[in-house]
Amino acid sequence: MTTYPRHVRKDATQPLPTILVVDDEQSIRNLLRMALRMSGFQVIEASDGRTALGLAARAAPDLLVLDVRLPDLDGFSLAKALRAGGNDVPILFLTARGTQQDRIEGLESGGDDFVVKPFSIAEVVLRIRAILRRTRGEDTSSSRLVYHDLEIDLDAHRVFRGGDEIWLSATEFNVLECLTRNVEKVMSKNQIFEYVWGHGDGQNERVVQTFVSQLRRKVDHARSPLIHTVRGIGYTIRTEPTRL
């Protein structure tokens, strides 16, 4: 019988937070949509500023991930328009420039934080969670992932197996989170690389192999293995099938 990971929430009746992703690059929207959904968020999208203004008013998202450079209305102007209309939705800016002046202008326009392109998906997710905690006074996303005897505390960045804590680096943690959010589903090396580092070009297999090997030594050591290789495809988390 398939056992899916439990997303343990502080309030199980509370709907998943909705993130409005605003970027004119389809590839970036696709990447963010996939990663945010895997991280326990609902996602809506806009490719330009005016569409985003309408969606922000109609859909009442919990947070905007907003590219600064848009074809019709730049991100700073869009943020100012939202604030002028009384909309206080939190805003995380995406920008190719990370100068001090850009950050000052972004904060003055009503933004809450910045991520500089090229970005790590894991960093975007962490910053979204941090903004929502600050602005709403609570963690509105799933706080733990539990699969069999594996438990991941997303807030504290702690991992337990059978009640014993396992010490992981930040990157190891992010790789394990990616796999655990997709238990019993095979994740390609490129999908894992995109989730953790924010981009993938098919040339990063050795990097993923290295981190998965390190995870195996820590997570599966002297225990029934959870991390499995699917030859020619990638990796998955599952329990060993019962042999009769």
Domain boundaries, the chain: 18-136, 144-237
For residue 15, the 8-state DSSP code is: P
**CA dihedral (177, 183, 189, 192) positive or negative:** negative
Q: Are 21 and 32 in contact (CB under 8 A)?
A: yes
Question: Does pTM surpass 0.75?
Answer: no
Mean pLDDT of the chain: 84
144-237 and 18-136 share a CATH fold: no
The tokens describing 58, both together, are 């109609």
Q: What is the pLDDT of residues 46-104, one digit of tens each?
A: 999 999 999 999 999 999 999 999 989 889 999 999 988 989 899 999 988 767 777 77
Q: What is the pLDDT of residues 134-193, one digit of tens each?
A: 777 654 445 788 898 999 988 788 899 988 999 988 888 989 999 998 888 999 998 888
Q: Identify the architecture of domain 18-136 in CATH.
A: 3-Layer(aba) Sandwich (3.40)
pLDDT above 70 covers a percentage of the chain that reads: 86
For residue 68, give the 3-state DSSP assignment: coil
The structure tokens 């995870």 sit at 215
CB-based contacts of 34, cutoff 8 Å, min separation 6: 194, 195
The tokens describing 42, both together, are 């609902």
The structure tokens 């939190």 sit at 90
Q: Identify the architecture of domain 144-237 in CATH.
A: Orthogonal Bundle (1.10)
